[in-house]
Chains A and B, each alone.
Chain A
């Protein structure tokens, strides 16, 4: 699931936040600390992941740090998917 999930997140972030002439993202590109995604705009990514994977990420876990790269987001989602069992 990990690779597929990585690509799903990468594609969503690219489509949602990047302008057409932006540099392409990597799995490690800093999203929030790098100024690509502001903390407001995280909301749609969070809702997208919650809807797609049937999970609920509490606000205190959906921190800017936890959403700061594709790899970090994938770890967060995997943790909640595993909890769901």
Chain B
């Protein structure tokens, strides 16, 4: 053992630095299943408090749906708890392949490979399909897991300004000499809730002979008329070369993810992607749950339709109350506060009012763009949204930010 006082002191100083900068993240303990109504212990040791959850990725309200829980129980009974193996040794059950086939059909692709998470899918896909002769051109606001995956790959990496199609075209021209070009974007951007222009991107990729990869983690299951994702909304199903997505959000919210797309690209991931090769298979109980989720959302659009109505109701209510919002039409509705401390103070005041919504600030979002990111669910009823709107309005009045512009809020609270 060599964990000396010097080593400990160095790490303690780093942690104190995070606290002093106001960037320390503190977990809140939830004592109930994930849902619109939850019971929370916060701060640690406090009595449980019933609050409305306004910040889960539980978009379709399926995280604790009785049919999903029942299917998971049945999966547990019929296929066991764990596989004690990676996929290619002895960790692939019939239901793993069944889920891959269902996802392929749902996403409108050629093949699919499961990963322990979408973080792992994004970590593995680039290295598996690209080399140093290639270039990746990504939107500057893509998710951190894509950035990490790109860093693990030897291909050149360039970026474009967020959703700037003129800039993308310039970059496709600049890198015309590369063997392959891969354009990378989120479908729905997780912090701003806006949607990628996938139709324009697909057209540019076709024009310049580039492949297109989209991370649909914040869209699979509910964006597009039948919930297939941003590519459905933009009318380009079948034109995506690679889709990565998660089961940890709308699709049951447990864990797991996938790479779906062109047959050869998926096969190369099966042969080479390190998180697939060196990490355990997804537990059978989770696979059984996701299979039920796929059944539910393939049979009916009821839940995504309700989510769409809820999100519109919520956005309208906040706008009328006088908050500054990021524009968009997804269930991610960021309430802009700009100042990091203000975002934390508003979050705490909302909690006192029975509303659970977290403040986001640098480095999760750019400097001076602190916010409360609210996320709407099909599990919310109108009475949840009305109660949350009343609480937001009360807190907004207390901090005197209602009806104020960005400049006025910054003038009052600083950047």
Task: Tell me the residues in window 180-234 of chain B with beta carbons closer than 8 Å to chain A beta carbons.
Answer: none
Interface 0/1 of B165-187, CB less than 8 Å to A: 00000010011000000000000
Assess whether B174 is in contact with A40, with CB atoms less than 8 Å apart: no
Task: Tell me the residues in window 33-65 of chain A with beta carbons closer than 8 Å to chain B beta carbons.
Answer: 35, 38, 40-41, 43-44, 47-48
**From A19, which residue of chain B is reached at the shortest CB distance?**
B161
Q: Is B157 an interface residue (CB 8 A)?
A: yes
Residues of B within 8 A of A44 (CB): 158-159, 171, 174
User: Considering the chains assembled together, what is the distance between the CA atoms of A84 and B140 in angstroms?
Assistant: 34
Of A19, A40, A41, A47, chain B has the most CB atoms within 10 Å of the CB of A40
Assess whether B140 is in contact with A43, with CB atoms less than 8 Å apart: no
User: Considering the chains assembled together, what is the distance between the CA atoms of A41 and B147 in angstroms?
Assistant: 12
A57, chain B: closest CB distance, angstroms:
13
Residues of B within 8 A of A43 (CB): 156-158
Task: Tell me the residues in window 133-161 of chain B with beta carbons closer than 8 Å to chain A beta carbons.
Answer: 138, 140, 147, 150, 156-159, 161
User: Considering the chains assembled together, what is the distance between the CA atoms of A41 and B157 in angstroms?
Assistant: 8
User: Considering the chains assembled together, what is the distance between the CA atoms of A70 and B367 in angstroms?
Assistant: 23
User: Considering the chains assembled together, what is the distance between the CA atoms of A54 and B150 in angstroms?
Assistant: 28
Residues of A within 8 A of B140 (CB): 41
Interface 0/1 of A3-32, CB less than 8 Å to B: 000000000000000010000000000000
User: Considering the chains assembled together, what is the distance between the CA atoms of A38 and B175 in angstroms?
Assistant: 19
User: Considering the chains assembled together, what is the distance between the CA atoms of A9 and B175 in angstroms?
Assistant: 19
**From A40, which residue of chain B is reached at the shortest CB distance?**
B157
Q: How large is the interface on B (under 10, 10 to 19, 20 to 34, 35 or more residues)?
A: 10 to 19
Assess whether A38 is in contact with B159, with CB atoms less than 8 Å apart: yes
Task: Tell me the residues in window 14-29 of chain B with beta carbons closer than 8 Å to chain A beta carbons.
Answer: none
B133, chain A: closest CB distance, angstroms:
14
A46, chain B: closest CB distance, angstroms:
10
A81, chain B: closest CB distance, angstroms:
21
User: Considering the chains assembled together, what is the distance between the CA atoms of A44 and B147 in angstroms?
Assistant: 17
**From B157, which residue of chain A is reached at the shortest CB distance?**
A40
Residues of A within 8 A of B150 (CB): 40
Residues of A within 8 A of B175 (CB): 47
**From A18, which residue of chain B is reached at the shortest CB distance?**
B161
User: Considering the chains assembled together, what is the distance between the CA atoms of A40 and B156 in angstroms?
Assistant: 9
User: Considering the chains assembled together, what is the distance between the CA atoms of A41 and B161 in angstroms?
Assistant: 10
Residues of A within 8 A of B161 (CB): 19
User: Considering the chains assembled together, what is the distance between the CA atoms of A47 and B156 in angstroms?
Assistant: 11
Residues of A within 8 A of B138 (CB): 40
**Residue in contact with B158 in the complex, picked from A19, A35, A41, CB distance below 8 Å:** A41
B405, chain A: closest CB distance, angstroms:
14
User: Considering the chains assembled together, what is the distance between the CA atoms of A35 and B161 in angstroms?
Assistant: 15
Assess whether B174 is in contact with A47, with CB atoms less than 8 Å apart: yes
User: Considering the chains assembled together, what is the distance between the CA atoms of A38 and B150 in angstroms?
Assistant: 14
Of A19, A38, A44, chain B has the most CB atoms within 10 Å of the CB of A44
User: Considering the chains assembled together, what is the distance between the CA atoms of A64 and B14 in angstroms?
Assistant: 24
B319, chain A: closest CB distance, angstroms:
22
**Residue in contact with A40 in the complex, picked from B158, B171, B367, CB distance below 8 Å:** B158
Q: List 14 A-B contacts (CB under 8 A).
A: A35-B367, A38-B159, A40-B138, A40-B147, A40-B150, A40-B158, A41-B158, A43-B157, A43-B158, A44-B158, A44-B159, A44-B171, A47-B174, A48-B174
Instruction: Contacts A43-B158, A47-B175, A48-B174 known; list 19 others, CB within 8 Å.
Output: A19-B161, A35-B367, A38-B159, A40-B147, A40-B150, A40-B157, A40-B158, A40-B159, A41-B140, A41-B158, A41-B159, A43-B156, A43-B157, A44-B158, A44-B159, A44-B171, A44-B174, A47-B158, A47-B174
B residues adjacent to A (C-beta < 8 A)? 138, 140, 147, 150, 156-159, 161, 171, 174-175, 367
Top 9 closest pairs, chain A to chain B, by CB: A43-B158, A41-B159, A40-B157, A44-B158, A40-B159, A43-B156, A47-B174, A43-B157, A44-B174
